[in-house]
Each structure stands twice: as structure tokens, then as C-alpha cells.
């Protein structure tokens, strides 16, 4: 086993985990195509993976009904003091948490293989990248990590004998006794699930869940929760943001990073096909951005992932044709419905409902069925390199220079389509007070409004008051080279409950206005909340949209915004003395502008 592992820290850790978890065998992954194919074959033979006749080299997995989303109430940030974790995180004492989890880990891999996955977040060898090693007993995790990260034996070569890495320990928590038959989706009961982060040690321990972000530890756990704490210490940003390149008809490039909560259209925007003639959009990343100040003084971003783990329901050739083309082959689907001819289906995928499906719980489904055929948080996993509009610079180790930051959320009322921050400091205030109606991507009541600062509430690995300060500090370092900051809401509705803005490819019209603001080609009118487009400044050519709808979409009702103040005050009060004074002043100024 250890023949390929020369790194002493890694070798010792493998030995320690094996002694605790007691697997039947140990396998060190090399990231090869042969390895992936062999792992998939094993999953097909066990009944866990369903081959899809209609999609080459593609497979469907159906999870246990208790294991379908990130479990925020079982996700912990474990720091030496609770104050360091802050009020937005679940905190447990590190020593006590480790004891609890060690008792769960003892013997948890009996009857299973322990897989050691060396991976790079970001291009292998890039100065912005980080190396992680995930130990898991789930072959489903292995195949997904192959797609979502850069799994390779060359990662071990870069580690050498004494290189550092982020240890990520995962178990589904379902040991097998001799002769015991495995289930289709093994996992532990909800109360035994732990997704634990120790940011002071750059350490991740996960137990009991086989789903997505709970188990693919390079994703939210490493690339956001641990990386955000590292970024604060080292002076960079690890953010829950898409990255896209927008090119105007004259060939000028703009790079945009946007933060929206899960299931609010990040992947759609990242792969948008502009409705405006002559404009081109290319995808660099759809979920996470790592950004460092480069020698030119500007903020340069990379996508640390190598794949997409996208929400399937609502994705269609109408909403996101590039995503649909990305998943035509070589894809993994989780909790989608199965068609009779061997394809996947989900709500919103086609206009016509299939006459019969096998739903995500393995039951017969017809249009008369009351339950959804696919789980609302059903997912697809596919390599970024398969995306038809992937940017040629998406793996540039130096990253791309960011011109624009966008914050936003899903709001049916109050918030207009777009507005610009008065300044960096005001932009940080907009990010810090961002709010969205909850979706099925996180477990909880759907439709409730929750403050989700920077779309990072579930992902910030330390006290968010300090996180706000870090953003303010980064702005000071960037000075005049700081990106411009905007806020958007694609989801505003009219009195009849219908969306006012067409969205999708027409969002390019809003991005065009932002680019014109960056180039000082268009003015803006001041409002209490920020800078709004002048009348006629948004390019609505060939768009059948009434002037009354447009006025409603851009309206700012001061009474509605005043009603938001108590909620913002309560949100800020959570952070106590850790809330930067400059944000208190921003709130005071905001209240005064509202009158």
C-alpha cells in the first residue's frame, strides 16, 4: 500500500486511520481513467450505479432518503474558542468533538476498502492551488472526486517526502460484518452524522453521510470552510462565487465573480449565452473562486475545482443549454428520475411529462403521482472541460483579473433588478446584508428569508465579523484597483406572482450595463440603496417588456426598505464587538438616506 506514498506525514496518517477504522484493504488512488472505470464497474455490479443507455459512460445513483443535502445543523466549525467560530457556525469543543468522532470511527470501515485520494484544488503545481488528501470508504466519493478535483499520482510527487497537505477523513459510517449484504446507499442515521472542520489545524473529519458536500471534502469543506480561514491568515479570498469572462463586440474582456446562495442561478449565469448580439460569455467556474492580489495590484481568480456539481431540477435547454450539452456523456447523476428507455429526467427538464418513470426513491411514477419524480436537490457531476463554453484560461495558474463583483439572492419583492454600490465599503455592506429565500439545496423551511452574507453563511470557516473585516482590509490593499461591486435580483415578481424579468440569457443586458459603468460609458442615478441605471440605460432591444413592468422591477420603495432595517440590525447584533465599526456606520448612513 505505502509503496507509492513517500511523504512521512501522509504515510503515518494512513497507518493511524487504518488502525482506527479497520478497513479490509487499502487502495491509493492514481486518478487514471482505468481506475475510474474499474470503480464504476464495481458500483454497477453492487447495484449502486445504474448505467444510462442513452448517455455514454453515464450513471445514476439513488441515495438514502435521509441523505439528500448538506446538513447544516450537523456541520461544525471546531476552534479553540467559540468566539473564533462565531455566531453563524455550529461550534463544538475540538477535544470533545474528536473523542466523539473517534468512537464513531473505530471499526467503521470493517468489510470495506479504504481509499486514499491525493488531489489538487486548482491546477497541479499552481502557486494558488492547495493539496488535499481524502481518505474514504466510499467508491461513489472516489468517482465524484475524480471529476470534481484533480486526482493524480503526480500530487504525491509534488508532496515529496515532507510537503504539506490538508487531511480530509470521511466515512459513510456503515461497517459490514462478514457475509452481510450491502445496501444501495449506505450511510449512518442523521443523529450520527458529523461534518467537522478544525480550521486551526487545516483538518476535516466527516462521518455518516455519502452525499455531495458532506462527503466530497474538496468542495465546500476544503475549498470554502478551511480555505476561507487560510485565506484570512494568508491575505487572499476564498469565496462562494462563479467566475465568467464576458467579451463585448469590440473584443474587450471583462471578468466577473458573482456570489449567490445555492440554487439561485449561479451555474446558469456562469454558462449564459447572451441574448445581446456580439456579446460572448465563457465559463471559468460555477461555484467557488480563490482570489489573490497579483503583481499588477489586481485581484486574480482561479476556479479551484475541475468539475460541476450542479442542481439538476430546473436545468433545461431553455434555461441552460450549455449545462445540458456538458452532461450528454461522462456524467454522474444523483437522485434524478430514470426513464423507461434508460435516461435521466427531472422537473423542468422538458415541457412534456414522461408517461412513466422510476422516481428517485425507486418507485413507479406517473404524471398523476403527487410527489416529485426527482429530488429537488438532485445533482449532476461533470468535468468542466466538457462544457462547450469553458474559457481557454480556466486553468491558467495565474488566474484572471476580476473587474466586477456581484452579490444577490432570491427575493420576490423589495430588491430591484440591479444597483451599484457607492464604494467598496458600501459594497461590503451589501454583501454583509445579502438575503435570500431558502431553497431545497439546504435542509430547512423553504421560502423563509434568511440573511446569507456573501452567500457564505454556511461556508465561512471562522467568525463572520472578522470575515467582514477581512473584506474591508482587502479593499484597502486593492485601493483604486478594487473591482466594482453590484447587487442583483433576478427573481422579483409582480402582483400576480409572476417573474418580472425574463432572466437567463437576458441577464447579459444587466452585465452589459455593469461593464459600461466600469468603463464610465454610462451614468447612474443615486437612490437610498445605491446607484440605479438611468432610464433607458439598460439595453432592452428586441425584448418585449412593458415600461410599467420595468418601472416595477426597478422601483425602490423606501417604506419597504425601512422595514428591513430591524432585521439588518438584529443580523449585525449577532456579531457584537466583532462587527467592524465601518459597517455600523454604513447601516447608520443607510437609515439616514431612507429618511
- Please check whether residue 408 is in contact with residue 491, taking contact to mean a CB–CB distance below 8 angstroms: no
Query: Over the stretch 139-185, which tens digit does the pLDDT of each residue have?
Result: 999 999 999 999 999 999 999 999 999 999 999 999 999 999 999 99
Confidence at residue 100, expressed as pLDDT on a 0 to 100 scale: 98
In this predicted structure, what is the pLDDT of residue 443?
46
Instruction: Burial-class residue 392 by CB neighbours within 10 Å (0-12, 13-18, 19+).
Output: exposed
252: CATH: 3.90.228.20
pLDDT tens for each residue of 506-553: 999 999 999 999 999 999 999 999 999 999 999 999 999 888 999 999
Tell whether 31 and 120 lie within a shared domain.
yes
User: What pLDDT score was predicted for residue 264?
Assistant: 82
- Compute the distance between CA of residue 397 and CA of residue 211 in angstroms, rounded to an integer: 30
In a domain? residue 53 = no
What does the alpha-carbon distance between residue 347 and residue 357 come to, in Å, rounded to a whole number? 12
CA distance to 68, 142, 383, 500, per residue, from 64 (Å): 7, 18, 25, 38
* Residue 67 belongs to some domain of the structure: no
Question: Residue 57: its pLDDT value, please?
Answer: 98
* Cell numbers linked to 293: 492580489
150 shares a domain with 253: no
Closest by CA position to 135, among listed 6, 43, 29, 5: 29
Q: Give me the CATH number covering residue 349.
A: 2.170.8.10
224 lies in the same domain as 249: no
> How do residues 478-519 score in pLDDT, each as one tens digit?
999 999 999 999 999 999 999 999 999 999 999 999 999 999
How far are the Cα atoms of 256, 359, 437, 573, 581 from residue 377, in angstroms, in the given order?
26, 13, 15, 32, 39
Asked, for residue 165, whether it belongs to a domain, the answer is: yes
Q: Which residues are catalytic?
A: 264
Whether residue 573 is predicted with pLDDT greater than 80 in this model: the reply is yes
Cβ contacts of 504-507, under 8 Å, gap ≥ 24: 504/268, 504/272, 504/318, 504/319, 504/320, 505/272, 505/273, 505/274, 505/275, 506/275, 506/543, 507/269, 507/272
Q: For the sheet with 344-345, list strands across it.
A: 344-345, 337-339, 357-358, 364-365
pLDDT at position 322 over 90: yes
Answer with the one of 352, 386, 420 that is the final residue of a domain: 386
Is pLDDT at 66 greater than 80 in this prediction?
yes
Q: Which residue has the cell 406517473?
A: 366
Identify the domain containing residue 341 by its residue range: 308-386
Q: For residue 57, tell me if it sits in a domain.
A: no
Grid cell listed for 513 = 450595463
Whether 566 has a pLDDT exceeding 80, the answer reads: yes
Q: What is the pTM of this model?
A: 0.96
pLDDT tens digits for 269-314? 999 999 999 999 999 999 999 999 999 999 999 999 999 999 999 9
Q: In the predicted model, is pLDDT for residue 452 greater than 70?
A: yes
The chain-wide mean pLDDT, for the chain, equals 96
Q: Is residue 54 part of a domain?
A: no
- Residues 80-120 pLDDT 10s: 999 999 999 999 999 999 999 999 999 999 999 999 999 99
On whether both 536 and 496 belong to a single domain, the answer is yes
Where residue 176 sits, what CATH number does that domain have? 3.40.449.10
Last residue of a domain, one of 216, 234, 252: 234
* Whether the predicted pLDDT of 440 surpasses 90: no
Which residues have CB under 8 Å from 69's CB, separation 6+?
211, 212, 377, 440, 441, 442, 443
How many separate domains does the chain show?
3
Q: Which three cell numbers stand for residue 154?
A: 503526480
Amino acid at each position: 500500500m505505502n509503496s507509492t506514498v513517500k511523504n512521512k506525514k501522509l504515510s503515518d496518517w494512513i497507518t493511524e486511520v487504518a488502525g482506527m477504522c479497520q478497513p479490509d484493504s487499502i487502495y491509493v488512488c492514481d486518478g487514471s481513467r482505468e481506475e475510474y472505470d474499474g470503480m464504476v464497474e464495481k458500483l454497477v455490479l453492487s447495484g449502486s450505479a445504474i448505467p444510462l443507455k442513452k448517455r455514454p459512460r453515464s450513471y445514476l445513483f439513488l441515495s438514502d432518503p435521509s441523505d439528500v443535502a448538506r446538513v447544516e445543523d450537523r456541520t461544525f466549525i471546531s476552534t479553540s474558542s467559540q468566539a473564533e467560530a462565531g455566531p453563524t457556525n455550529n461550534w463544538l469543543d475540538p477535544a470533545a468533538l474528536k473523542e466523539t468522532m473517534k468512537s464513531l470511527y473505530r471499526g467503521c470501515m470493517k468489510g470495506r476498502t479504504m481509499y486514499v485520494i491525493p488531489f489538487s484544488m486548482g491546477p497541479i503545481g499552481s502557486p494558488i492551488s492547495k493539496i488535499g488528501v481524502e481518505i474514504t470508504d466510499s467508491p461513489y466519493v472516489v468517482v465524484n472526486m475524480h471529476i470534481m478535483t484533480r486526482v493524480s499520482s503526480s500530487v504525491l510527487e509534488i508532496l515529496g517526502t515532507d510537503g504539506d497537505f490538508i487531511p480530509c477523513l470521511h466515512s459513510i459510517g456503515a461497517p459490514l460484518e462478514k457475509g452481510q449484504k450491502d445496501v444501495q446507499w449506505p450511510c449512518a442515521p442523521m443523529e450520527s452524522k458529523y461534518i467537522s472542520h478544525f480550521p486551526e489545524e487545516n483538518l476535516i473529519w466527516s462521518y455518516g453521510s455519502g452525499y455531495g458536500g458532506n462527503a466530497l471534502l474538496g468542495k465546500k469543506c476544503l475549498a470554502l470552510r478551511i480555505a476561507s480561514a487560510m485565506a484570512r491568515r494568508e491575505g487572499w479570498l476564498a469565496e462562494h462565487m462563479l467566475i465568467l469572462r464576458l467579451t463585448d463586440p469590440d473584443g474587450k474582456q471583462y471578468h466577473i465573480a458573482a456570489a449567490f446562495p445555492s440554487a439561485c442561478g449561479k451555474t446558469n449565469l456562469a454558462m449564459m449565452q447572451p441574448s445581446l448580439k456580439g456579446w460572448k460569455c465563457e465559463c471559468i467556474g460555477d461555484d467557488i473562486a480563490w482570489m489573490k492580489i497579483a503583481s499588477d495590484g489586481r485581484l486574480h481568480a482561479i476556479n479551484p475545482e475541475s468539475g460541476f456539481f450542479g442542481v439538476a431540477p430546473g436545468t433545461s435547454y431553455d434555461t441552460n443549454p450549455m449545462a445540458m450539452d456538458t452532461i450528454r456523456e461522462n456524467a454522474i447523476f444523483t437522485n434524478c428520475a430514470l426513464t423507461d428507455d434508460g435516461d435521466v429526467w427531472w422537473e423542468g427538464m422538458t415541457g412534456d411529462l414522461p408517461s412513466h418513470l422510476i422516481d428517485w426513491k425507486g418507485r413507479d411514477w406517473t404524471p398523476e403521482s403527487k410527489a416529485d419524480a426527482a429530488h429537488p436537490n438532485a445533482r449532476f457531476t461533470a468535468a468542466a472541460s466538457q462544457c462547450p463554453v469553458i474559457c481557454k484560461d480556466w486553468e491558467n495558474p495565474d488566474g484572471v483579473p476580476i473587474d466586477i463583483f456581484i452579490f444577490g439572492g432570491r427575493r420576490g419583492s423589495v430588491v430591484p433588478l440591479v444597483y451599484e454600490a457607492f464604494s467598496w465599503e458600501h459594497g461590503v455592506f451589501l454583501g454583509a446584508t445579502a438575503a435570500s429565500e431558502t431553497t431545497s439545496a439546504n435542509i430547512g423551511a423553504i421560502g423563509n428569508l434568511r440573511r446569507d452574507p456573501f452567500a457564505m453563511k454556511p461556508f465561512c470557516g471562522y467568525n463572520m465579523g472578522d470575515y467582514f473585516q477581512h473584506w474591508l482590509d482587502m479593499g484597502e490593499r486593492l485601493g483604486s484597483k478594487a473591482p466594482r461591486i453590484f447587487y442583483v435580483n433576478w427573481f422579483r415578481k409582480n402582483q400576480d406572482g409572476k417573474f418580472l424579468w425574463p432572466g437567463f440569457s437576458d441577464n447579459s443586458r444587466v452585465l452589459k450595463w455593469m461593464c459600461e459603468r466600469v468603463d464610465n460609458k454610462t451614468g447612474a442615478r443615486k437612490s437610498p440603496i445605491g446607484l440605479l441605471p438611468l432610464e433607458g440605460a439598460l439595453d432592452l432591444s428586441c425584448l418585449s417588456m412593458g415600461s410599467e413592468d420595468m418601472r416595477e422591477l426597478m422601483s425602490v420603495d423606501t417604506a419597504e426598505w425601512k422595514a428591513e432595517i430591524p432585521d439588518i440590525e438584529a443580523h449585525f447584533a449577532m456579531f457584537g464587538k466583532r462587527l467592524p465599526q465601518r459597517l455600523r456606520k454604513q447601516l447608520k448612513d443607510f437609515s439616514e438616506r431612507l429618511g
